[in-house]
Copies of this chain bind each other. A is one copy, B any other.
Amino acid sequence: MEKLKKYVSVKDEDHFYHQGAVELLIFNFLLILTILTIWLFKNHRFRFLHETGGAMLYGLVMGFILRYVTKSPDVESGTVYECEKLKSGPSTLLINITNQVYEYQYKREISHHNVNGHQGNAMLQKMTFDPSIFFNILLPPIIFHAGYSLKKRHFFRNLGSILTYAFLGTAISCIVIGLIMYGFVKAMVHIGQLKQWEFHFTDCLFFGSLMSATDPVTVLAIFHELNVDTDLYTLLFGESVLNDAVAIVLTHSISIYSPKENPNAFDAAAFFQSVGNFLGIFAGSFAMGSSYAVVTALISFMHLTKFTKLCEFPMLETGLFFLLSWSAFLSAEAAGLTGIVAVLFCGVTQAHYTYNNLSPDSKMRTKQLFEFMNFLAENVIFCYMGLALFTFQNHIFNPLFIFGALVAVFVARASNIYPLSFLLNLGRKQKIPRTFQHMMMFSGLRGAIAFALAIRDTDSQPKQMMFTTALLMVFFTVWVFGGGTTPMLTWLQIRVGVDPDEDLKARAASQSAPNLDKNTTKAESAWLFRIWYGFDHKYLKPLLTHTGPPLTSTLPEWCNPVARLLTSPRAYGDQLKDGDTVYIINNDELTENYESSAHIPVPAQDSTASIQATGKEDIQEGDLGLGGYKLQLQHTADQPQNSSLA
């Protein structure tokens, strides 16, 4: 008898294994289908559907089939069992059922009104995977890749504008959406669709913050393919990357905003605590992410130049790089910070320092590895979004709320882009033209982050309504705006086919002629940037990489023994070796920029050498981002090998 039971349990377990396999197989099948379709589209140069849009479409179809065509293998009754002995839910529960002990693991808390909707089609239930998977597994590689492939050269040229859009813009967007939604909620209460106490102003702000995370992956892919104007590309890419970080931390801060009394009234103490939380979490995550990257840079630097050669073992080097970057994410999570933000800044710092220390083989490996992970994770998320419309069981479709969200998102985007562009243009030498502003307005797509933030909490009815609405907004923006990118570019007559390096060269040449209005760029940010640039170039780069001037020339004389010990022997010799004419022309701009910062004393004998070294290396890094994107999107015929080897 005992024997028999054991075999039954083994059978059950087997059945469980196979179930998991079937679900993953469905995902694989959808992704394969997506790849084949997209390959077909790319081949015929159809640009109205990006792979993410395709993945979403197939997910939608599969979700429909799973929901309405397949029969549920075992419908469980929504019975709730009572347990008087337990005071709270333990993480593991042992239950004796007909003399057999079973172990159950805590999954989540369920609101009473969800109990019935929750049970049902077992297949659907299994396709709905844990929201934490998004935050812990799927998002980190996407965000890291974004940071790692940032075109730093162009990014820093537009740093002020990008920061303004990302921080101020996201805050504006969050508040505007929150206010408009609050208006709609009031209206819904008025016509009786909603009860007053269900939906607070903080809930509206929460919705505003999660809907403020833009994800123009479709637009950026097309921009890259068509080589759209570099400044526009950089503005949009930079904004979307940083804006994700801001939106995530903002959402977190709002969700832990807890006024003491009436949740609807304004509580100054709680408000300032939220602001403090935001700043603390953001700064902490930033510090965590960059310090891991600095550690990686130090290890790879030590191994590369001073002591021995890690670069002889590219697998170990790549492994170390991967594990330390992942540790940045995990440490931030473990410390109660935001892992996604940490991993973003870790990526940026890794690209800035560590990348220079890696062996050529590891440079390629790390780039391709994260590119591939990004590709897979992105498609899985968009596939899942399509599926979620049918597999998620607690959707609340409220037409008024959805319409409100549509209006709010547009108004918020407009009141973010146009006023801020106007302000920025007051300070910028290179103005942001009207057409760029329209294009940025148009590129306010919502995607993975908004979805992941919305699905994180779907316990209460307001949250379910928000989730449904966010999902529909993603569908709408990705298909309509994503598909409309190419016509929009044509209509706005934005120039395409720009070679970013040529562009920069031309601009540098034109700038060096009228040397007067150098400091027209917004004074303070330029000053800050110059201070940072000087510090980075003179101390951090030589310390962490083998580029830049030797520390012996930048540190005061009495530090010489230490400096000699810390500087890479390569820094003395290699800097002038392969100075190409293109690089030298490009460096003019940086030279002037650098020398015009009068606060920093430049040792005369080293200035030329050091500047050339910097310029050279910046180009390399610019190429990193470029190469990464080229490889992902299209292996252009004119650069068959260079981009993959650079």
Residues of A within 8 A of B (CB): 3, 6-7, 9-10, 13-14, 16-18, 20-22, 24-25, 28-29, 31-32, 35-36, 38-39, 42-43, 76, 78-83, 85-98, 100-112, 115, 118-119, 122, 125, 132, 135-136, 255-256, 258, 263, 299, 303, 308-316, 318-320, 322-324, 326-327, 330-331, 333-334, 336, 339, 359, 361, 364-365, 368-369, 371-372, 375-376, 379, 457, 459-460, 631-635, 644
Distance between Cα atoms of A32 and B31 in the complex (Å): 33
B104 touches A106 (CB 8 A): yes
B25 and A310 contacting across the interface, CB-CB below 8 Å:
no
Knowing A107-B104, A336-B18, A339-B21 are in contact, say whether A115-B97 is a contact too (CB < 8 A): no
List chain B residues, Cβ under 8 A from A310. Answer: 39
If the complex has contacts A101-B115, A104-B93, are A28 and B330 also in contact, measured as CB distance less than 8 A?
yes
Nearest-CB residue, chain B, relative to A361: B644
With A and B bound together, what is the CA distance between A97 and B85 in angstroms? 8
**Which of B39, B86, B634 is the one whose CB lies under 8 Å from A303?**
B39
Most buried by B among A88, A102, A308, A311: A102
Contact A314 B631, beta carbon cutoff 8 Å: yes
Contacts A25-B331, A28-B326 known; list 8 others, CB within 8 Å: A21-B339, A39-B308, A39-B313, A43-B308, A94-B110, A102-B110, A103-B118, A319-B376
In angstroms, Cα B16 to Cα A312, docked, is 40
Q: What is the distance, in angstroms, from A391's C-beta to the closest C-beta of chain B?
A: 15
> Which of chain B's residues have a CB closer than 8 A to the CB of A42?
312-313, 316
Q: Is the CB of A333 within 8 A of B89?
A: no
Asked if A635 and B361 sit within 8 Å, CB to CB, the answer is yes
CB distance from A440 to the nearest CB of B (A): 27
A37 to chain B, nearest CB (A): 10
- Beyond A309-B43, A361-B631, whether A82 also contacts B96 by CB under 8 A is yes
The CA-CA distance from A359 to B39 in the complex, in Å, is 15
Q: Are A101 and B97 in contact (CB under 8 A)?
A: no
- Within the complex, the shortest CB–CB distance from A442 to chain B, in Å, comes to 27
Assembly CA distance A312 to B39 (angstroms): 10
Q: How far is the CA of A606 from the CA of B39 in the complex (A)?
A: 36
Closest to A89 in B: B102
CA distance A499 to B324 in the complex (A): 36
Min CB–CB distance A44 → chain B (angstroms): 9
Residues in B whose Cβ lies below 8 Å from that of A361: 631, 635, 644
> Which of B83, B312, B327 makes the CB contact (< 8 A) with A96?
B83
A-B contact pairs, 10 of them (CB 8 A): A13-B108, A24-B330, A25-B327, A28-B327, A32-B327, A79-B94, A81-B96, A102-B106, A102-B108, A319-B375
Closest to A636 in B: B312
For the complex formed, measure the closest distance between the CB of A354 and the CB atoms of chain B, giving whole angstroms: 14
Supposing A39-B303, A94-B80, A631-B314 touch, asked if A32 and B89 sit within 8 A by C-beta, the answer is no
Instruction: Give Cα A7 to B322, complex, Å.
Output: 35
Q: Given A32-B324, A87-B98, do A18 and B315 touch, yes or no (CB 8 Å)?
A: no
Are A109 and B28 touching (Cβ within 8 A)? no
Contact: A95 with B81, CB < 8 Å? yes
A101 x B109 contact (CB < 8 A): yes
Cβ of A258 and Cβ of B7 under 8 Å apart? yes
Shortest Cβ gap from A554 to chain B (Å): 30
Chain B residues, Cβ within 8 Å of A25: 327, 330-331, 334
Q: Which of B17, B92, B106, B316 contacts A125 (CB 8 A)?
A: B92
B104 touches A263 (CB 8 A): no
Q: Which residues of B are found within 8 Å of A76, using beta-carbon distances?
A: 90-92
Shortest A589–chain B CB gap in Å is 33
Nearest neighbor of A76 in chain B, beta-carbon distance? B90
Q: Chain B residues with Cβ under 8 A from A18's Cβ? A: 333-334, 336
List of B residues within 8 angstroms of A104 by Cβ: 93, 104-107
Cβ–Cβ contact A372 & B35, under 8 A: no
Cα of A372 to Cα of B106 in the assembled complex, Å: 34
A371 to B313, CA, bound (A): 13
Shortest beta-carbon distance from A171 to chain B in Å: 23
Q: Are B101 and A318 in contact (CB under 8 A)?
A: no
- Which residues of B have CB within 8 Å of A315? 371-372, 375, 631-633
Chain B residue contacts of A85, Cβ below 8 A: 79, 81
